Amino acid sequence: MKYLIGFVFLLCSLSLTVRAESEFITLGTGDITGVYYPAGGAICRLVNKDRAEHDIRCAVESTPGSGYNLQALKENDLDLAIVQVDWLFFSNARKGFFTDQEGQESLRLLMNLHSESFTIVARKDSGILTFNDLKGKKVNVGIPGSGHRKTFELIMEKKGWRMSDFALASELSASDMASALCQGKVDAFVYFVGHPNTSVREATSFCDSRLIAMPKLLLERLHREFPFYYEGYIPGGMYRGNAEDIASLSVDASLVATENLSENAAYIIVRQLAENQQHLRNLHPALSRLRLDTERFLSRQKFLPLHEGARRYYLEVKN
């Protein structure tokens, strides 16, 4: 009997050991109408697909966006997050958005995912034809903590604008922007997002609205000062009533963690995504142009350290 009890105790101990080695990872994304949330869901599905082999489980969480995600990473409320590259740079360098705040030196980069465009949508009867026409209008600038809110504040600074220059500077969430526009509560909204996007599609489908191009000189100035910003465009024909390409400020969205994420977990996550790129591209239209070019990625990402697990994978592929 004592041998049986000992055997059962050994089995229980082994079971506890296996459970102790399991990793449960929470991935912070963004509003459910944006690209971060479905992209995060796609990432977790790929990681969980081979959970029996690596014993890592990934769960996606909707959040207010990049700013929230960075703070949650800092407080260990998230293990992994999708964040705009400009937020990563400013947080790490204590510049821009974070001049008066403590930097986050523990941030670590895993990989870039997709590009995002600073998008301006205006009602056609608002009188807004150019970027400068936003002054004096009712504009939804986004909720505090969202990536597009902070980026717009940076753009406003370069233009010498203040919130008081607008007839109204509302702080609606991304899920409420389209209905507010079509109901006439706002004349325009700004949104830093990958395309196609649900909110932009709703706004252009349910009422007559147009996408507003950003001035070329402003785009060039922002790129000179912050090289991770670059001139991009929103493809013409993607949204009703907008047949032409629209010049826009673009930036990459990245998958990040802190150094607290285990090297093994970071390695497994990057490997799963890199080796299933076509599957990932098929999971959401915004990820359709995802291409993991290891040489280019390693040469460009100099402002934020790579996670050691990610570095291990990239060096294996490179060699």
Q: Do domains 2-114+254-318 and 117-251 have the same CATH topology?
A: yes
pLDDT score at 69: 92
**Kind and range of the H or E element at 246?**
strand 246-258
Contact 184, 203 (CB under 8 A): no
Cis amide bond preceding 196, omega within 30: yes
CATH number of 117-251: 3.40.190.10
Q: Helix crossing, 85-93 with 66-74: angle to 10°?
A: 50
Tell me, what's the pLDDT at 281?
A: 79
Q: What is the pTM of this model?
A: 0.77
pLDDT score of 172: 94
pLDDT at 303: 66
Which one-letter amino acid corresponds to residue 182?
Answer: C
Concatenated DSSP letters for 57-70?
EEEEE--S-HHHHH
Q: Decide the pairing of beta strands 168-170 and 230-234.
A: unpaired
Nearest partner of 170 among 209, 136, 191, 141, judged by Cα: 141
The CATH superfamily holding the domain 2-114+254-318 is Periplasmic binding protein-like II (3.40.190.10)
Domain ranges in the chain are 2-114+254-318, 117-251
DSSP-assigned beta bridge partners for residue 59? 26
Measured from the Cβ of residue 5, the count of other Cβ atoms closer than 10 Å reads 9
In order along the chain (319 residues), what is the average pLDDT of each group of 10 residues? 43 43 89 85 91 94 89 93 86 57 75 90 97 97 82 92 97 93 97 88 96 96 91 94 95 91 95 86 72 61 81 86
Q: What is the model's pLDDT at position 291?
A: 64
